[in-house]
Amino acid sequence: MPVFPFPTSVLGRIRHPVMMDAVNINHLDKQQFRLLTEMCILIDENDNKIGVDTKKNCHLNANIDKGLLHRAFSVFLFNTENKLLLQQRSDAKVTFPGYFTNSCCSHPLNTPWELEENGALGVRRAAQRRLKDELGIPMEQVPPEEINYLTRIHYKAQSDGIWGEHEIDYVLLVRKNVTLNPDPNEVKSYCYVSKEDLEKMLKQAASGEVQITPWFRLIAEAFLFKWWDNLSQLNQFVDHEKIHRM
């Protein structure tokens, strides 16, 4: 991977993010409040770890505008009928509440278990954890070796005037029948969709009839349908070198 030095001016600003107490989060429920204290992995634009910070600080637009960037993942889970699991994010979520999105979206944490970079093992372990936490999928049903790492995207999006996303997002794919028991604090609703269903949803989103998350839209428009047509031959799409700037 070519070296792309992260500007020292940006690194300097990152060391002094908006502090936790600068934005009031007392209105959040206990679970979402607790999740905002988790420690995410700060990275440069080449996905090299440069530090750690709270989930809250990573998602404040004030910090994103200063260059704060963290590692994340998005899981696309298909059943054996080749239908894709979608979820609608809970209204309790801080960013993009109530939006429809792909099967599971979250962040690896700053723990030795989820920092392992060889083969993106740490990210795949984090995905296994969050598939359990969000969707109630037993961890033994989605071992890391069955979670396929395809590629990465780098994107930025505002949710509202306070909160947003700025991530290098590992795109992961699972094809398996699983047991679902979603946590209502995380997931408002869920469904399996066909390609035709999703194409209709994307058109509805474009006209404002439904809301979908920006990372889901980007991945769907750029990659998803060609993957969908080749779920048994995904190796041709694996690209661990390039970070797609979107």
| Catalytically annotated residues | 105, 167
Residue 44: C-alpha distances to residues 56, 215, 229 (Å): 18, 19, 33
Q: 87 with 93: CB under 8 angstroms?
A: no
Q: Check if the beta carbon of residue 128 is closer than 8 Å to that of residue 109.
A: no
Cβ neighbors of 25 (< 8 A, separation 6 or more) are 33, 36, 56, 94
Alpha-carbon span 28 to 90, nearest angstrom: 12
Say how far apart CA 41 and CA 30 lie, in whole Å.
Answer: 23
CB 114 within 8 A of CB 102: no
CA nearest to 193, candidates 74, 97, 87, 98: 87
Closest CA to 32 of 191, 187, 161, 141: 187
Q: Per this entry, what is the length of the chain?
A: 246
Count of helix runs (H) and strand runs (E) in the chain: 9, 10
Q: Which residue's structure tokens are 């080449």? A: 46
Element (H, E) at 201: helix 195-206
